[in-house]
């Protein structure tokens, strides 16, 4: 091979090497970008710098023990109850969050955690929970501690509760360890701002949607506040009818109906 041929061969090999290096570097960079695109939100009532909003809410029903452990961010602790018990969770949907965002749950059968889709239920059928409410994802954890343990992770599709995942028929199956959201954003997804840190205290529990006001029941009654009037106004702003109100942990809970 002459000198000119050697030069061409060297140039050819350098081009190939440069292409291989570029491929691997760009693939690695792309993987990092995909990781950064997902926004992990541990708690519905706390803002995350990546874009999770803090104006969600929690509500508990039934005979719970250590219910705070089910939402404390510690995957080693758990909440449980007696009989049938529920934890309702409302996550405020950030602008730009895509419907393939995932709900991350930890229970006795999935101690490493499991990501649940809002489009397919536990039985492989269409779920459709993402569009049930324009502002919130409406979720709940159902626990049962009777002769055996049972946990259902559920979402509301606008008409009924959908089972996304279930674990049960074991002695400790009733334990709820943790849950979180993993938001998958589009180009409109923005980091959270300080103005988005206020907790709304609006808890929606469908059907018979429930909305909680920050006022204390004892204070409202003491000063003669017309709770029914307040609840009626709140329900109407959410396009529901007013049914009744209750007091949970000294909070006014307005029970609205569709």
pLDDT exceeds 50 at position 197: no
Residues in contact with 204: Cβ distance below 8 Å, sequence separation at least 6, in sequence order = 88, 90, 133, 136, 138, 210, 211
Phi, psi values for residue 153, rounded to 5°:
-100, 120
Closest CA to 140 of 83, 235, 56: 56
Q: How far apart are CA 155 and CA 30, in angstroms?
A: 32
Question: What band does 118 get if pLDDT is binned at 50, 70 and 90?
Answer: very high
Total residues found in the chain within this entry: 258
Asked whether the beta carbons of 65 and 81 are under 8 A apart, the reply is yes
Closest CA to 50 of 180, 193, 178, 179: 193
Mean pLDDT for 196-207 is: 45
How far out from the chain centre does Cα 195 lie?
Answer: 21
Could you report the per-residue pLDDT of 144-162, keeping only the tens digit for each?
887 677 888 999 888 888 8
How far out from the chain centre does Cα 144 lie?
Answer: 21
Q: How far apart are CA 40 and CA 22, in angstroms?
A: 30
Q: How far apart are CA 222 and CA 244, in angstroms?
A: 19
**Among the residues of the chain, which ranges form H helices?**
3-37, 217-222, 227-237
pTM for this structure? 0.63
Asked whether the beta carbons of 143 and 60 are under 8 A apart, the reply is no
Residues in contact with 120: Cβ distance below 8 Å, sequence separation at least 6, in sequence order = 126, 127
Mean pLDDT for 60-71 is: 84
- Find the range with the poorest average confidence among 47-51, 76-80, 187-191: 187-191
Residues in contact with 211: Cβ distance below 8 Å, sequence separation at least 6, in sequence order = 202, 203, 204, 231, 234, 235, 238, 253, 254, 256
Question: What band does 104 get if pLDDT is binned at 50, 70 and 90?
Answer: very high
Q: Which pair of structure tokens corresponds to residue 244?
A: 């009744």
| CA 116 vs CA 98, 107, 120, 163, 244: distances in Å | 14, 13, 8, 10, 34
Is there a cis peptide before residue 207, judged by omega within 30 degrees of 0? yes
Could you report the per-residue pLDDT of 159-169, keeping only the tens digit for each?
888 899 888 75
């Amino acid at each position: 091979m002459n000198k000119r041929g050697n030069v061409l061969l060297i140039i050819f090999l350098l081009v190939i090497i440069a292409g291989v290096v570029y491929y691997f570097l760009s693939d690695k960079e792309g993987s990092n970008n995909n990781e950064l695109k997902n926004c992990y939100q541990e708690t519905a009532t706390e803002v995350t710098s990546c874009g999770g909003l803090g104006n969600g809410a929690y509500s508990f029903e039934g005979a719970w023990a250590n219910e705070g452990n089910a939402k404390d961010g510690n995957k080693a602790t758990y909440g449980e109850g007696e009989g049938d018990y529920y934890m309702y969770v409302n996550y405020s949907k950030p602008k730009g969050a895509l419907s393939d965002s995932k709900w991350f749950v930890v229970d006795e059968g999935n101690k490493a955690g499991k990501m649940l889709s809002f489009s397919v239920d536990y039985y492989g059928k269409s779920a459709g929970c993402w569009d049930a409410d324009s502002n919130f994802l409406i979720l709940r954890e159902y626990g049962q501690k009777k002769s055996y343990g049972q946990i259902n992770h559920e979402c509301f599709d606008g008409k009924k509760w959908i089972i996304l995942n279930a674990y049960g028929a074991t002695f400790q199956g009733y334990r709820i360890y943790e849950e979180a959201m993993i938001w998958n954003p589009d180009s409109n997804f923005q980091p959270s701002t300080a103005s988005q840190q206020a907790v709304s205290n609006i808890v929606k529990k469908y059907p018979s949607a429930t909305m909680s006001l920050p006022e204390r029941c004892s204070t409202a009654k003491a000063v003669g506040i017309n709770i029914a009037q307040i609840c009626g106004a709140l329900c109407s702003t959410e396009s529901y009818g007013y049914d009744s109100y209750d007091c949970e942990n000294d909070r006014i809970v307005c029970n609205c109906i569709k």
